[in-house]
Structure 1
Amino acid sequence: MKRFLFFTVLCFALLQIATIFCSAETLSKRKSFSFNGFDVEKNASSFLFTSPTSSIDQNALQITPDNENQHNGYKNKSGRVMYRESYKLWSSDRPDDAIASFNTYFVINMYRTEAWESGEGLAFLIAPSHHVPAGSHGQWMGLTNVTTDGKPENRIVAIEFDTRKQGFDPDSNHIGLNINSVNSTKTVPLSEFGIELSPVPTTNNSVWIHYNGESKVIEVYMVKEGDSKPETPLLKETINLRQFVEQVSYFGFAGSTGDPGVQFNCVTQWKFEIEVFPSEKDWKWLIIGFSVGVPLMVLVMVLCGIKIRGFCLKKKKRARDEEAGVTGKLKMLPGMPKEFKYKDLKRATRNFHESMILGKGGFGVVYRGVLISDAVVTQVAVKKFSRDNIDGKEDFLAELTIINLLRHKNLVRLEGWCYEKGKLLLVYDYMPNGSVEKHLYKSSDRNTLSWRHRYKILEGVASALHYLHNEYDKKVVHRDLKASNILLDSNYNARLGDFGLARAIENERNSYNELELGGVPGTMGYIAPECFHTGKATPETDVFGFGAVVLEVVCGRSPGVKIQHEEHQFTLVDWVWMLHREGRILEAVDERLDNVYDVDEAIRLLLLGLACSHPMSSERPQTRALCQIIAESMPPPRVAPFKPVFMWPSFSTAFSSVEESSSSNM
């Protein structure tokens, strides 16, 4: 025992030494700098390269001449201001394709008077040197000139902020991604986002640029200074910097003026952070340290390992047997999709970083993932189950068993699965427009869902529900219909997802208790009243949830939040029923639509929502009727002016009656 303790302490000491080596300043993982303003005495000589026509005046970087630096006028000038230190963007010694990730934030001001025409612009630049090319004024923006533009030898990548239209530009107020040329690979006009680069009077604009070295994706965000960073980038593009810039490059800004286009191209703040690859010297010290420490640590660990080897082997064997059992069941399922490697999903989600989270639920967390294969970039949604015990595995298997054969255009498609190292993951199609809930409650009024989108969404959900209840070979009850589980693809088509609570009803078994789930799963506001008495999941309870979704989408209000009306508080369904009774049902339509909707369609949907919300399950419409009413091949349902009272025990639906008679004969 004493020998064991001695070796343990020695091993710990050696590990501490190794940690010191690894955490030395020379092997820092990231470098950064920050300028909240620019002081000419400190910044010009110590940190920044400036070209002859550039300067640091008025506490800002003047990329092109300003009042303090215009010896030969303002027109037809170009300049660069670059950070003095260059950065290594990838390591030649590493076998993978990793490139240094970086983030930058800066504030730009493009000042002009009423008498000046705007032009030409400025750019955030990655370049092999700080030298500004001769003849790069006017449309060349300090990046290239008439003889070099478009040539791969330039080795530059830039994000331009262009204020003068050339023949290849969309307008005179846009941003663009430039690769070795001023003719942008991708452009984004800014006027539709309420951003003007060079207005009169002047204004400051904040810019964020993020580059992910693993996914090779660059993102550009922009707002007026003082506004919050938006959730969605203005420009997003995949670019492998290794193909276009030098391994060691400089970061900074370039700009130009023309004739007649003139403005002051200024940068008033600049923050920058970059992942740093160790130099060869740093690797040398690391190798020396480990060449001494590792052999000794190995010896110590071998001696210590004898004591615990048996225990570890047994634990690993149990884990392998359990993993083999689960994966064996999965591979036996018919039509099982692709099996993913855990390491690939870990990399795709940046090690399941919180910045990649799309949503959370009782069964796990969903992350955005970026998979790269053969230079093809694919975005996916990765659901990581939060419960890795046996209950979590049962949830995982249940969800996978149901959805692996589901095929419908309005259901989120399963791409694959992974079960390694005790981790349970499902991989789905990525829905770029997020959830309906996000659009209803987390978007600005200007970006709210249009009426056409809302109607199409409800039409799609009804179709998916009908497929689950009647067209799939087993009757599937979703049991958690709500706005956060309805996702939108790039064309705003609804995709019903999250089958964590769904169950296939076999042999008329539709009770939560029979399935050993206990309680009443679901979300308040969407749960049918009979569930609190029967604990049973039926198609009728799904229809009730659909009714809550219909009212939510049309009214823009959550079914679980009380509505204050005069001196009373109402649930959403009671509030709509009250307006229906008083002949004012259209007052329930979301005010953010500004009356831009089809009146007949709105009445049709509101009455359908109330019909689905009927307290008596037997009175709710079937899913086929839902589709027909929305498609206008059936008239809207007739709804009583007063909401019926829920009664228990109630008359059961035909489906429930079969279940009960079957149970009574057992």
Structure 2
Amino acid sequence: MPQYIQFIFLLTSIFTSTSSSPSSSPKNLTLIGSAHIANNSIILTQEITACNSRSYSLNGRILHSYPIRFFNSSSNATVSFSTRFTFKITPPPPPCIPGDGIAFLIASDPNSLPHSSGYMGLPDSPISDPFFAIELDTSFNPGLGDINDNHLGLDVNSIVSVASIDLTSQGVYLKSGKRITVWIEYRDPEKIIRVWIGYMDSKPEHSVLSLPIDISKILREFMYVGFSASNGRGSSIHSIEKIQFHTFESLTPNLQMETRSSRSCLICYPEDPVVEDYEITLYHDNHKDNRVLELAFGLLFLTGFLIIISSLIIVYCICLNKRRTLRQRFRDHPQMYRFQETEIPKKIKLADIRSATKGFDQNRIIGQGASSIVYEAYLPSCGNVAVKRFCKVNQSISLGNQFATELATMVGCLRHKNLVQLHGWCSEGNELVLVYEYMSNGSLDKILHKRSNNRPLTFEKRLNILLGISSALVYLHEECERQIIHRDVKTCNIMLDADFNAKLGDFGLAEEADGDDSVGYAREVVGDGG
């Protein structure tokens, strides 16, 4: 019962937990082109359904709605900055080709950026308004100086990169469909930019790009920060999941530029006079109105779940009580259960049976019927046994049914001193075998018809045989919980042990009685003469 309680608590926590739903338009972001919000992410590009389409898809771009100060005219100082963002590029299935890629962008005038698709949405020709970009390129264009279709590049006022890094050698694959995190730091006092990239949430120890560069020459007093992506003639889904951006006015050498918050947001007020944080908020905080609806659905699911669990517990208690009642009945009336507690016979490997019968040697045959042959054998786990081998299943479908019927009957509740006991069974390929206890005096018909070397049966032995078979039939018809009709009682199916105690065997034609109709059906002629 403790397992049920733990399960209830687990499901309760699942159903009552509320999930945040994305808003349609973040208040501090501007969505341009095909950019939109979905699945708690910013989706920059749409996937093209027709791979052979000759038309270009729209590019997608997001920009912070308000410009960010990069140059202080009063102090004549350029700020340092750091950013961290997590993105994912989901490539299309073959034979479609991937898109162009995604780029982190700092631009002076968003209106100067092209609206046509291609080149990650960056300008493909010189413009008067400066821009800076870190591109994550998934399209190989030798004319632009690309080194391959999986590289990181630094662009200054041109889509021809100032520096490029092969990400394949770094163990990063942009088109893997996995979440990838990028860290970018620019220190103006040192005039150096560094870039880290990896699949983990923690920043790698070594940067993939470390380049001396003075970008203060292209930075205006106010510039826009964001991302741009395009597919060109390809088809990929470019998505942004987390973004953080920070500026530093008075950067000292010992000041760490790590982002100090893991929230998925953009603008916060500065915590000190030298640091200003711009954090992109991916989602609204005005989803409180939806919590009532979410709570209602959660309670509905919880109520239904508790009803199901309660029903299962009630059924379990009923079954447990019934089992206890049967056990108590056995203690109160032991004379009605003159058999051992049912044990399921074990499955025996065919190789062990072949070894015990010397490969089903004909010299070991001790009995033969219309559907099976019986061999004498020895198994280390059982001692001397009688191996009943059914004819090939593919020769007669009914033989497989006889095997299944006999096995099911013996496994049920047939543990009686006057019933031949089943030790094991085997069903491998076309071989169907039942392993019974060995009856040293064979069948009754051999003795009655003097086909054995035994002396004629005395009156006492004959009476003992009749009483034993009668006891077995009374047990089958009246005392067994599942009333069984043997339907094939004859001398060749009555086996004798070393002391001439009779045991009834061969239940291949047996049926379970179920009222007067089943008993009447069981009186039909079945089996063979004997």
By percentage of residues, which structure has more helix? Answer: 1
Higher radius of gyration, 1 or 2: 2
TM > 0.5 between the two?
Answer: no
Q: TM-score, normalised by structure 2?
A: 0.41
By percentage of residues, which structure has more strand? Answer: 2
Q: TM-score, normalised by structure 1?
A: 0.33
